[in-house]
Amino acid sequence: MDSKKRQPLGIELVKRGIVTEEDIQRALDYQKAEPKKKIGDILNILRVCDPYILIDAIGEILEEKAIYLREADVKINILDYISLDIAKQYKAIPFEESNGRIKVCFADTSNKRAVDTVRLLLLNKGLTMEKYITFETNVDLILNSFEGSSDNINLNADVSGFIDSVIKNAMDKRASDIHIEPMQEGMRVRYRIDGQLVNAANVGKERQAQIIGRLKAISNMHQEKQESQDGRIIMYPDYNIRVSSQRNIYGEKFVLRLLKKNEDVKSIFDLGFKNDEKLLKEAFNKKNSITIIAAPTGEGKTTTLYSIVDYLNRPEINITTIEDPVEIRINGLNQIEIDPKTNFVDSLRTVLRQDPDIILLGEIRDTETAEIAMQAGQTGHYVLSTIHTIDAIEVITRLRKMGVSNYDISSTLATTVSQRLIRRLCKNCAIERDFSEEEKNIINQIGEKYNIHFNLEGKKTYDAVGCKKCNNTGYYGRIGIFELLMIDDRIRSLIINNNSTIDIRDEALKNGYVPLIVDGVNRILDGTTNLQELNNKLAIY
């Protein structure tokens, strides 16, 4: 059938007598609420006819091999062939291999990029791909079952042993957080590894009360209280574990934050900051000013603050930190931890009477904190802090919205930094290949936008494949990408005159300001990460 002349799928199915016009209308009504879902998938969700007959008919119309794929049809381990990230991103499931040929099901065979990427990955493994189509819901169900692995979690242990194995397994896998979540049918355990949540285990509903009770006991929480609580687990000598509980409709959810004790502070260059000592001194070796690190939650702002303070730390300088909580203890610093009886504002007022040279303020959260931080910067101190904004220039907007005057911003703000953490490709399993024309076009368009030439000549990129070392994700560890705005006289003039951040951005771009996305592309070109990961973080296409 000539695809150019093919009528809409719904009409073709009606003509073949597979569904009725009323079925199609129901599907179209459904699609108004779920516009990303395809008509074929909606008809399957609505169960208007036998799903096996429906998928066969769709396959004939689209001139594709089709199968109603069930978990029992998957004869191989998906993760031996493609990473979980690739499988989820491209909605693809390898399900059978024989004599050098591998069958792969896609939710959307018209997605040429998805098909070509998976085909190339399998070709690099010496396999020829045979393409099939199935319903997206089938793909999602199967991938959810393959999403994680209980590995070293002892599901059959008593409740104490089970929770102990959950925590120790998370430590082994470099998880930053553990989510223990009551669901309708049971409890789900997930780990956050390199910024991504992955399934770790599922347990029956009958164990929920015991698990919650044990978590409360070792976190020093009230057993009977079901409102939100905070606690700590101190049973593991190398870790501080902060625990938060929150009631949901199926019970109480717990999140455990794993903080490694006595962890060495990394050099800011090791974090990914441009290896330029002169730039570092210009940006951070300040007095009578404030430097602000900006990023969403979980993007490494505090780690960067620690690295800057460690760089500035000398015996002749008095450095005091105000944190909630103190995550890393650094020799030579006076570190203050916020508790329920104190807050940032009161602690900062007290610290100013302690003759500090440098003050690290964990976060600027409100107008009062912002104003006192600015006053500290104007009276001979160097203040370092963080704020939640999308980039370095929007720090100015955020401070304005907090009520800080343009005069105070222009006279005190010295440097703003924005950052994101991107996942590094796993060196153990990444596969090298040429950039596709589409990828080259995306990178060149970024270069044109910011008047930067990216040299793609002879450059290679890498696909994330997945192996045991990287938990079948294709990525291992993270690195920062940064943008740096130093407030010079031209920028100060725009701030004091209440110019918009659009005007400030235009001026900054004329004078060496390099946006996050440019630093990200450079990380692609040096093989640290790939375009898929940068897009996951910055949504560039």
The CATH code of the domain that includes 254 is 3.30.450.90
Binning pLDDT at 50, 70 and 90, where does residue 482 land? very high
Residue 110 belongs to some domain of the structure? no
Same domain as 256, residue 297: no
Q: What is the CA radius of gyration of the chain?
A: 27
Amino acid letter, residue 339: D
Confidence check: pLDDT of 68 > 90: yes
Amino acid letter, residue 463: D
Helix or strand holding residue 481 (H, E):
strand 475-486
Cα 373 to Cα 403: distance, rounded to the nearest angstrom: 13
Cα 198 from chain centroid (whole Å): 12
Other CB atoms within 10 A of residue 363 CB: 19
pLDDT attached to residue 358: 95
Is residue 64 classed exposed, middle or buried when 0-12, 13-18 and 19+ CB atoms within 10 A define those classes? middle
Same domain as 250, residue 332: no
Confidence check: pLDDT of 147 > 60: no
pLDDT digits (tens, 9 = 90+) for 121-132: 999 889 999 999
Residue 219 belongs to some domain of the structure? yes
How does DSSP assign 364-406, residue by residue?
A: --SHHHHHHHHHHHHTT-EEEEEE--SSSTHHHHHHHHTT--H
Residue 433 belongs to some domain of the structure? no
Same domain as 316, residue 369: yes
Same domain as 352, residue 497: yes
Residue 472 belongs to some domain of the structure? no
Same domain as 385, residue 414: yes
Residue 5 belongs to some domain of the structure? yes
Confidence check: pLDDT of 120 > 80: yes
- This prediction has a pTM of 0.77
Measured between alpha carbons, how far is residue 95 from residues 102, 111, 117, 148, 430 in Å?
Answer: 7, 19, 17, 18, 22
Confidence check: pLDDT of 433 > 50: yes
Last residue of a domain, one of 232, 260, 288: 260
DSSP 8-state code for residue 78? G
Q: Which domain holds residue 12?
A: 1-63
Q: Are 422 and 300 in contact (CB under 8 A)?
A: no
Binning pLDDT at 50, 70 and 90, where does residue 146 land? low
Same domain as 301, residue 226: no
Cα 55 to Cα 67: distance, rounded to the nearest angstrom: 7
Residue 350 belongs to some domain of the structure? yes
Cα 69 to Cα 465: distance, rounded to the nearest angstrom: 23
Sorted by sequence, the CB contacts under 8 Å of residue 300 that are 6+ apart come out as 271, 419, 421, 478, 480
Last residue of a domain, one of 226, 260, 294: 260
Task: Give me the mean pLDDT over the 447-473 stretch.
Answer: 89
Task: Give me the mean pLDDT over the 297-318 stretch.
Answer: 92
Q: 218-225, long-range: CB within 8 Å, 24+ apart, which pairs? A: 218/163, 219/243, 219/245, 221/245
The CATH code of the domain that includes 384 is 3.40.50.300
Does the CA dihedral 195-200-205-207 come out positive or negative?
A: negative
The angle that helices 394-401 and 501-510 make with each other, rounded to 10 degrees, is 150
Q: Find which of 60-74, 140-154, 408-422 is predicted with most confidence, using mean pLDDT.
A: 408-422
Confidence check: pLDDT of 50 > 50: yes
Tell me the HSE value of 266 on the side-chain side, using a 13 A CA sphere: 13
Q: Are 398 and 349 in contact (CB under 8 A)?
A: no
Helix runs in 73-127, H state only:
84-90, 112-123
pLDDT attached to residue 77: 83
Residue 353 belongs to some domain of the structure? yes
DSSP 8-state code for residue 416? E
Specify the range with the lowest mean pLDDT, choosing from 97-106, 152-161, 291-300: 152-161
Same domain as 409, residue 299: yes
Instruction: Indicate the number of domains in the chain.
Output: 3
Cα 458 to Cα 463: distance, rounded to the nearest angstrom: 17
Same domain as 415, residue 316: yes
Same domain as 281, residue 193: no
Does the CA dihedral 107-113-116-122 come out positive or negative?
A: negative
Same domain as 391, residue 487: yes
Specify the range with the lowest mean pLDDT, choosing from 139-143, 213-217, 440-444, 476-480: 139-143
Same domain as 253, residue 163: yes
Residue 145 or 203, more confident: 203
How does DSSP assign 172-206, residue by residue?
A: HTT-SEEEEEE-SSEEEEEEEETTEEEEEEEEEGG
β-pair type (413-425, 475-486): antiparallel
Residue 358 belongs to some domain of the structure? yes
Same domain as 214, residue 281: no
pLDDT attached to residue 3: 41
Q: Are 131 and 109 in contact (CB under 8 A)?
A: yes
Helix runs in 313-366, H state only:
344-351
Last residue of a domain, one of 45, 63, 81: 63
